[in-house]
């Protein structure tokens, strides 16, 4: 499909567009000639970063607002042809520590958006980024879309609710929605302030490698995961928005093949040009053991057959591109003080 033809000149709203996946999506949409409006609340520690769009800041519009602001959302959804809904709280540990906030962001806020669409723009194509996390401990692998839903943490419950709201609003109100259940996404523009690994294993390992710190792998390191490069995820989002066959559907978006945590660590170290034995195995901390799901990786057959998407980026290649980006732009992602300083400067420039 010619995505340039689909999106050129179209009005596209990217919610959570200053975050990791959202900003990479915005980069692609600008190149496709879309009229892009980003909404982001810049909630601390959720990954929003003005630097993510520094190179295209003059080619799109940004509105700093919260999707829970019903008045603002009612106005901002009007006239949009496509809405990519990527806003959310992704920390599994954080969801257990503050479940009410997690529910507010991942479930309640989705109703605000969908109600705005129902009342003010019911024809907009809405694509929602869901997660494979709510499958829980897998009954079988690879996990397909028919797998039972058995979340192991609050984040899994609230993301499941957010996805289901999108599907209900399609069935009940005819809003053309699609949900993509993403596996572990990695690549440039990820948040790196997460020194404790609360945002996911690959975030944590990349930060440790950049800090020249020895990596710590919980358990045996034999648990399997699949990882998908952010550009492949962006293509899945764009194809889902472009295909009528995707309306009302949910699709897994998985990686090329599963790898163990030990294999991941070795690939990370190789990509960074470091010795591959710079890691150690340590016992699971209790709070992580309680929500660990063992080996899990996705079956993406359904999305391939429906709209022709499949991952193409090899993990070693994607990690090399990731480290190349951070070696050049590390200061914009490294710690809270650096990010806040750059953020403030970018906001002032954008308002000038």
| Strands (DSSP E) found in 183-234 | 184-186, 215-218, 224-225, 227-229
Q: Which residue has the higher pLDDT, 317 or 93?
A: 317
216-250 confidence digits (pLDDT tens): 888 888 999 999 999 999 999 999 999 999 999 99
pLDDT tier at 212, thresholds 50, 70, 90: confident
Cβ atoms of 261 and 213 within 8 Å: the answer is no
Number of alpha carbons in the 13 Å side-chain half-sphere of residue 102:
19
Cβ atoms of 113 and 121 within 8 Å: the answer is no
CATH 3.40.50.720 fits 3-351, yes or no: yes
CA 245 to chain centre: 23
* Beta bridge mates, 143: 298
Q: In angstroms, what CA-CA distances link 80 with 62, 87, 125, 290?
A: 14, 17, 9, 42
Q: In angstroms, what CA-CA distances link 112 with 63, 66, 104, 169, 260?
A: 17, 10, 11, 12, 39
Highest mean pLDDT among 136-145, 191-200, 201-210: 136-145
CA 181 to chain centre: 10
CA 63 to chain centre: 20
Cβ atoms of 69 and 42 within 8 Å: the answer is no
Cβ atoms of 23 and 17 within 8 Å: the answer is yes
Instruction: Say what the pLDDT of residue 195 is.
Output: 47
Region class of 159: left (phi > 0), else alpha (psi between -120 and 50), else beta: alpha
Q: DSSP state, 105?
A: I
User: Average pLDDT over the chain, rounded to whole?
Assistant: 91
86-95, 258-267, 287-296, 338-347: least confidently modelled range: 338-347
> Does residue 338 surpass a pLDDT of 70?
no
| Per-domain boundaries in the chain | 3-351
> Does residue 51 surpass a pLDDT of 70?
yes
Number of alpha carbons in the 13 Å side-chain half-sphere of residue 206:
28
Token pair recorded at residue 258: 């599963």
> Does residue 341 surpass a pLDDT of 80?
no
85-89, 191-195, 316-320: least confidently modelled range: 191-195
Tokens 């998908």 found at: 228
Cα–Cα distance for residue pair 26/261, rounded to 1 Å = 31
4-13, 63-72, 79-88, 190-199: least confidently modelled range: 190-199
List all residues 6 or more positions away from 113 whose beta carbon is below 8 Å from its beta carbon. 15, 67, 73, 77, 83, 85
CA 351 to chain centre: 27
pLDDT tier at 112, thresholds 50, 70, 90: very high
Burial class (CB in 10 A: 0-12, 13-18, 19+), 140: exposed
Asked whether the whole model's pTM tops 0.75, one would answer yes
pLDDT tier at 349, thresholds 50, 70, 90: low
Tokens 């150690």 found at: 280
160-198 confidence digits (pLDDT tens): 999 999 999 999 999 999 999 999 999 999 988 654 545
Cα–Cα distance for residue pair 14/29, rounded to 1 Å = 10
Instruction: Say what the pLDDT of residue 200 is.
Output: 67
Bond preceding residue 142 cis, omega within 30 of 0: yes
> Does residue 40 surpass a pLDDT of 80?
yes
* Beta bridge mates, 298: 143
* Beta bridge mates, 222: none
For residues 43-47, average pLDDT: 76
Instruction: Say what the pLDDT of residue 53 is.
Output: 97
> Does residue 251 surpass a pLDDT of 50?
yes
For residues 72-92, average pLDDT: 93
Cβ atoms of 54 and 62 within 8 Å: the answer is no
Radius of gyration of the chain (CA): 19
């Amino acid at each position: 499909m010619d995505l340039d033809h689909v999106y050129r000149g179209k009005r596209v709203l990217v919610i959570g567009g200053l975050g990791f996946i959202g900003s990479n999506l915005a980069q692609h949409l600008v190149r496709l000639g879309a009229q892009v409006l980003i909404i982001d609340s810049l909630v601390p520690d959720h990954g929003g970063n003005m630097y993510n769009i520094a190179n295209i800041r003059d080619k799109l519009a940004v509105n700093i607002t919260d999707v829970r602001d019903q008045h603002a959302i009612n106005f901002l959804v009007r006239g949009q042809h496509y809405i990519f809904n990527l806003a959310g709280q992704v920390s599994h540990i954080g969801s257990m520590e503050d479940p009410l906030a997690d529910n507010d962001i991942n479930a309640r806020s989705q109703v605000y958006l969908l109600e705005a669409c129902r009342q003010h723009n019911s024809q907009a194509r809405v694509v929602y980024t869901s997660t494979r996390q709510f499958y829980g401990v897998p009954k079988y692998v690879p996990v397909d879309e028919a797998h039972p839903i058995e979340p192991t943490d609050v984040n899994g419950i609230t993301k499941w609710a957010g996805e289901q709201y999108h599907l209900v609003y399609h069935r009940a109100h005819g809003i053309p929605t699609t949900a993509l259940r993403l596996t572990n996404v990695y690549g440039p523009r990820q948040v790196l302030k997460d020194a404790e690994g609360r945002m996911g294993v690959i975030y944590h390992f990349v930060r440790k490698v950049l800090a020249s710190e020895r990596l710590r792998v919980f358990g045996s390191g034999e648990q399997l995961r699949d990882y998908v490069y952010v550009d492949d995820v962006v293509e899945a989002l764009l194809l889902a928005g472009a295909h009528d066959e995707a309306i009302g559907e949910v699709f897994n978006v998985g990686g090329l093949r599963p790898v163990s945590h030990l294999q991941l660590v070795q690939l990370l170290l190789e990509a960074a040009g470091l010795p591959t034995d710079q890691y150690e195995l340590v016992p699971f901390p209790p709070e992580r053991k309680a929500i660990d799901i063992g080996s899990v990786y996705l079956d993406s057959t359904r999305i391939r057959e429906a709209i022709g998407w499949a991952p193409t980026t090899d993990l070693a290649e994607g990690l090399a591109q990731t480290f190349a980006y951070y070696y050049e732009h590390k200061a914009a992602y490294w710690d809270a003080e650096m990010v806040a300083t750059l953020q403030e400067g970018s906001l002032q420039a954008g308002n000038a």
